Structure 1
Amino acid sequence: MSRSNVGLAGSRLTRLWRYLRRGTAAYGVLLIALLLTALAWYYVRQNVEVQNRARFDESTQATQEAIERRTKAYLDAMFGARGLFYASNTVTQEDWNDYVRGIEPARRFEGLQALSYAQRVDPENRETFMRGARDEGLPGIRPDLNPSGERSAYFPLTYTGPLGDANQTILNYDFYAEGAHSKAMDLARDSGEPRATRMVYVLSDAPSGSTADLALRRGFFVYLPIYEEGEPLGSVGERRRALRGFIAGSFVSEKLLAGIFEGSFDPAIDFEVYDGASPASTPPLYDRDGIRRAGKRGNEPLFSKESRIAVAGHEWSLYFATLPAFEDGAESNLPLLVLASGLGMSLLIFGITLLVVRSRTRAEIYSEDLERLV
């Protein structure tokens, strides 16, 4: 091979190496641009997810706080009723009716089925109480004696209101004969604090669309003890001896909880309340859309959350889950737009850089060729 051919080959290799070395810069620019695009896409996608999570968390937190405020307001009404007995030596049926009308349960306390007074009647006073009830045209204590004989104490509901058809049926009914009620009443008596029953069925007006006049609906009772004034209350034994009776509130859970969501809760989030610490093993008190989701597998929601609150000493479990409408609204085209824009810009910058490299390489080649000719 002649020297001229060797020189020509070397020149071409030099030019190729120069082009490749400068072209590396263009590919480096492309790589950096693609990395920045990926980072931008990841950041925007995470930001969208954080915003959706914040929307979900804010809704669930607001709901839990609304439940706590509402139940506290209902307990305050019960404390107000107890104040009647501490403010006066005698509370009459008329006094009781006036108080119940005054708190406007239908408007201000949705779900409060009845506000009642359960009077303590010791066994030795049972017959006297029964004669007085008959004289007033009221039913006697129900249920009557246990099959085994006298109960240790009776707590008939002597006052109740508002006096609708459902509530009149419980006058002089002694719920202490039922296990769920006696447990809550004993806890209230010994602690001096309001205590709620587990889920029980509450006699109420039938829901709209029903052919019946009355219906048993899911709910609970709360008992607040009343003690004889001036009696010592320092120990459990003293509180038991001083017990005068209970303020009893009966609640329909569906009506109580449904009122929380009117116009203030995200309709794309399901909400369920369970009577106990575990939704999987406790009965539901309320289900917003009637479809149980807590503890169910398959079709996992985008977000879900369980929490617990104490209502008058009894634990409830709250379950929240996003519905398809939430997930549809959570989908955003912004991350895809950022990705597509970033890819386009990356390719554009790469193309421009590559053109500059080629132009510079060609200019140098032309300059070298001219110098060789001269």
Structure 2
Amino acid sequence: MQDLSGALSKRLHLAQVWPLVAVGLLGLVLAAAAWITVSVWEERLAKARFNAVAGDYAAVLQNGLDGYLDKIRALRAFYDASEGVNRREFDLFTSQILSGHGSAMRLLWCPRVDRQERPVFESGVQRSGLTDFSIKDWAPTGNVRDATEREEYFPILYSSVSHARTATFGTDLHYERARSSAIRRARDGDTMATAQNIQLRNPIGGKRPGFIAFLPVYKPGTLHDSIVSRRRNLEGVIAGAFQTSTVFDAILAQAVLPPSVDLFIYPSNNDQNAPPLYARVVGRQTR
């Protein structure tokens, strides 16, 4: 009887303890579930905040770049509305549309010159005042040399940087592959095309990494409704040259955005090891 009484006592004790244990386990499960739920919620909230901030920065940068690219379109409209644009008219017009923005971009006019026209073209520019003008190529060392013979050239004739020593007059933008490819795309598509991730030969602000946007100009009164007619009637290209960090700094300086954000912009390719095109780290100088 004593054994039976002890067994009953143990069973009663267990019957009293198990509900407490079950409640405790249930509490732990609920606490863990709540922690996971809160963690997921916090992660989603952080991701949503990040996406919102990133979206704000992307929108500001895109709108800012569009504003600069519109200046290239405005210069093309000026050419389309003119029978011819001389250096003084170019300087006057670009100084107006670049007022307050000249440090972030420069505008260039590069006429198309074919191989047969080159001697007459060079002598004509020399008679106009640029006595040492010639069509030039940039050597890999950074020096200039007379351009080698090829079918066509797109030399810099006018520049919003008007000083002859800093404007790289005569430099053929058709010489290097990235620039040449962008010029051909702009010409054939009657559209704006860019040469990205390039080294600016005459860097704005003393730094080299940048990009150039090209827009074609066709001869007045001619058709350019097909690739054939566009190639035949191309008069030249307008180029907008940008030093990457300078233009992005200029855009962000005018924006109302969270200041304590590290910003990195990478090229639009699949190279995961590529360095950023632009980096702005809080407390450090941009690059």
Is 1:277 matched up with 2:265?
no
The one-letter amino acid paired with 1:153 is: E
Per the alignment, residue 225 of structure 2 pairs with: 234
Given that 1:100 and 1:162 are in contact with CA atoms closer than 8 Å, whether structure 2 keeps it comes out as no
Instruction: Classify the secondary structure of the residue corresponding to 1:90.
Output: coil
The one-letter amino acid paired with 2:52 is: E
The CA deviation at 1:225 is 0.4
The one-letter amino acid paired with 1:160 is: S
Q: Structure 2: any 5+ residue segments left out of the alignment?
A: 137-144, 283-287
The CA deviation at 1:261 is 3.9
In the alignment of these two chains, the number of paired residues is: 270
- The equivalences for 1:1-374 within 5 A come to 6=1, 9-107=3-101, 111-112=104-105, 114-138=106-130, 139-143=132-136, 146-147=147-148, 149=149, 151-163=150-162, 168-202=166-200, 203-206=202-205, 215=206, 217-262=208-253, 264-265=257-258, 267-274=260-267, 277-280=269-272, 284-289=276-281
Given that 1:199 and 1:283 are in contact with CA atoms closer than 8 Å, whether structure 2 keeps it comes out as no
Higher relative contact order (CA 8 A, sep 6+): 1
Q: Structure 1: any 5+ residue segments left out of the alignment?
A: 1-5, 207-214, 291-374
The one-letter amino acid paired with 1:137 is: G
The one-letter amino acid paired with 2:169 is: L
Given that 2:208 and 2:243 are in contact with CA atoms closer than 8 Å, whether structure 1 keeps it comes out as yes
| Structure number, greater radius of gyration | 1
Per the alignment, residue 285 of structure 2 pairs with: none
Instruction: Classify the secondary structure of the residue corresponding to 1:224.
Output: strand
Matched residues in 2 for 1:130 and 1:116: separation? 18
- Report the CA distance shift for 1:17/1:171 in structure 2 as closer, same or farther (over 3 A): same
Matched residues in 2 for 1:204 and 1:124: separation? 32
The one-letter amino acid paired with 1:287 is: A
Given that 1:118 and 1:155 are in contact with CA atoms closer than 8 Å, whether structure 2 keeps it comes out as yes
Matched residues in 1 for 2:75 and 2:181: separation? 22
The one-letter amino acid paired with 2:212 is: F
The structure carrying a bigger helix percent of its residues is 1
CA RMSD, aligned part only? 2.7
The CA deviation at 1:245 is 0.7
* TM-score where L is the length of structure 1: 0.64
The one-letter amino acid paired with 2:158 is: Y
Matched residues in 2 for 1:47 and 1:284: separation? 31
Matched residues in 1 for 2:183 and 2:247: separation? 22
Matched residues in 2 for 1:88 and 1:173: separation? 25
Given that 1:175 and 1:182 are in contact with CA atoms closer than 8 Å, whether structure 2 keeps it comes out as yes
- Report the CA distance shift for 1:283/1:226 in structure 2 as closer, same or farther (over 3 A): farther
Give CA deviations for 1:88-143 in whole Å, capped at 9, x if unaligned. Answer: 21223232222222223544x7621x101111233343333223222222142321
Given that 2:204 and 2:242 are in contact with CA atoms closer than 8 Å, whether structure 1 keeps it comes out as no
Give CA deviations for 1:305-358 in whole Å, capped at 9, x if unaligned. Answer: xxxxxxxxxxxxxxxxxxxxxxxxxxxxxxxxxxxxxxxxxxxxxxxxxxxxxx
Instruction: Classify the secondary structure of the residue corresponding to 1:157.
Output: coil
Matched residues in 1 for 2:176 and 2:8: separation? 100
The one-letter amino acid paired with 2:214 is: Y
The CA deviation at 1:271 is 0.6
Give CA deviations for 1:181-219 in whole Å, capped at 9, x if unaligned. Answer: 22211121111111111322221355xxxxxxxx45111
Matched residues in 1 for 2:229 and 2:95: separation? 34
Instruction: Classify the secondary structure of the residue corresponding to 1:80.
Output: helix
Given that 1:197 and 1:222 are in contact with CA atoms closer than 8 Å, whether structure 2 keeps it comes out as yes
Matched residues in 2 for 1:140 and 1:189: separation? 26
Q: Percent identity?
A: 25
- Report the CA distance shift for 1:195/1:23 in structure 2 as closer, same or farther (over 3 A): same
